[in-house]
Amino acid sequence: MSNDKNNHKKRIAMISVHSDPSAKLGGHETGGQNVYVSELSKALGRIGWSVDIFTRLTRKRTKMVKSHGKNVNIIYIKAGPRYFIPKDKVLEKLPEFVGNFLAYKEENKINYKMIHGNYYLGGWTAAQIKRILRIPMVETFHSLGRIRHRTLEKFEKENIDIENFKDRLIAEKEIMKTADTIIATNPPEKRDLMHYYDFGLEDKIKIIPCGVNLKRFRKISFENARVYINHFSEEDKIISYIGRIDWRKGIETLIRALPLVSKKLPKLSLKVMVVGGKIGKKGDPADKKEIAQLKDIAKELKVEKKVLFLGRKDQEKLRYYYSASDIFVIPSYYEPFGMTALEAMRCGVPIVASKVGGLSHIIQNRKTGTFFPPKNHKILAKKIIQIFENKNLKNKLTKNAEMIVKENYGWNKIALEMSKLYQELLSHS
């Protein structure tokens, strides 16, 4: 490495401990954060920032550094065993991560000007590094412990891990005290930060949304999309879900709505398409367990032949699955932002979403999508029926949604906003 490059005045350390931005999406612990870190870093690289993304080493590699676009590298840092461990077990490995980050920095004589933490794991790591290097720190939480705990209490009380919650809350408090700026991806997240975390945070919080890759996600002709995915007939009406397979994503609600929609619209050949999850012989046990439970519910409701679980798909292929859908449903119990909403809107699919978190902001009711209360399958069914029966509504939703996404949510636009924030922090440091 040249001295010029190492002391680049725009060199950023992006910390994403448990989310490798190059990992395949759709697994139990891969999702929005992977996309956010990957796409934001690439967009920053295109406008002149030099970004090193630090993530935990989870398998044997011949190269510990790999290119991830113009001016962007992924650097794998040893912290604990060289295999996957659940993210709630990663916190205790973070001191080793910090030590090995600093060793990498010294060995390569790199002068980082800014550190950007992601999630509470990356945020805690970034907070320690900030104190040592005395550089500005930005944090994007992606989800908040208190909101997750509240959601568990409401919908899945038996799954609450009190000790893990306490550890996470302590880490989040430390991050909030240490960070120079906290990124809220939408106004509801800012309200949650100010309401649940009493640190006088208002002056620290900056709202910068997540984005969508406008080239990757685009409308494909309905006919071509159906031919490409090759699972459905032309007559089938597809209600789709795309995302992680997780209890809080509320997929059960969608399955429970299906019999009600079928009863009201008996002439339609209705299908539910679930895209996501590592299935098959080498699949993720958590994904397979959740899918088995969902299949049991579908069987109990006598709709098992109408619900297809297709597993995870490559990001480059997802536009075909969106474009082949008649309606896209996001039935989450908790959704900090909801990046799949932007992807579906960009691909011209009408959205029905639970009114939670970021979804309540990025979707405008009856303008770019429609809402239902989380876990309420009866109202979800009514909203789906409404779109099937009202072609004018469907056309209005998709036309407005495509335009709003194009104008406001491209990653280049998001990166310019983040770049402005970085420059302001550097000028005051």
* pLDDT tens sequence across 324-367: 999 999 999 989 899 999 999 999 999 999 999 999 999 999 99
Query: Residue for token digits 């440091």?
Result: 429
Predicted pLDDT at 404: 95
Sheet holding 205-207, edge to edge: 65-67, 72-77, 50-56, 11-15, 114-118, 137-140, 181-184, 205-207
For the ranges 121-125, 183-187, 274-278, 372-376, the lowest mean pLDDT is seen at: 274-278
With H, G, I as helix, E, B as strand and everything else as coil, classify residue 402. helix
Predicted pLDDT at 162: 65
Predicted pLDDT at 209: 96
CA proximity to 93, closest of 140, 55, 138: 55
Predicted pLDDT at 22: 84
**pTM of model > 0.75:** yes
Q: Does domain 3-211+410-428 have CATH number 1.10.260.40?
A: no
The β-bridge partners of 407 are: none
Q: On the CB side of 142, how many CA atoms lie within 13 Å of its CA?
A: 22
Report the amino acid identity of residue 189.
E
Predicted pLDDT at 7: 44
Confidence of residue 61 (pLDDT cuts 50, 70, 90): confident
Give the mean model confidence (pLDDT) for residues 278-282: 81
Q: Assess whether pLDDT exceeds 70 at residue 304.
A: yes
Cα(386)–Cα(328) distance, integer angstroms: 13
269-275 and 307-311 as β-strands: parallel, antiparallel, unpaired?
A: parallel
Predicted pLDDT at 385: 98
Cα(147)–Cα(338) distance, integer angstroms: 15
Predicted pLDDT at 159: 56
Q: Label residues 85-113 b or e (16+ Cβ within 10 Å = b).
A: eebeebbebbeebbebbeebbeeeebebb
CA angle in degrees (0–180, nearest 5) for 387-187-24: 70
How far, in whole angstroms, is CA 387 from its chain's centroid?
Answer: 26
Question: Domain boundaries in the chain?
Answer: 3-211+410-428, 222-408
Region 222-408: CATH code: 3.40.50.2000
Q: On the CB side of 5, how many CA atoms lie within 13 Å of its CA?
A: 9
361 in Cβ contact with 188 (< 8 Å): yes
CA proximity to 331, closest of 245, 237, 248: 248
Give the mean model confidence (pLDDT) for residues 271-290: 88
A 10 A CB-CB count for 167 gives: 17
For the ranges 82-91, 118-127, 213-222, the lowest mean pLDDT is seen at: 82-91
Q: Assess whether pLDDT exceeds 50 at residue 394.
A: yes
Confidence of residue 377 (pLDDT cuts 50, 70, 90): very high
Judge whether 3-211+410-428 and 222-408 match in fold.
yes
Contacts of 275 (CB under 8 A, 6+ apart): 26, 240, 241, 242, 243, 310, 311, 312, 313, 318, 321
Report the amino acid identity of residue 222.
F
Give the mean pLDDT of the chain.
Answer: 91
Q: What confidence tens digit (pLDDT) does each residue in 166-207 have? A: 899 999 999 999 999 999 999 999 999 998 887 677 889 999
The β-bridge partners of 351 are: 328
Cα(346)–Cα(273) distance, integer angstroms: 19
Predicted pLDDT at 1: 40
Cα(287)–Cα(349) distance, integer angstroms: 26
Predicted pLDDT at 147: 86
Give the mean model confidence (pLDDT) for residues 256-260: 98
Record the tokens describing residue 78, joined without a space: 């040893």
A 10 A CB-CB count for 194 gives: 15
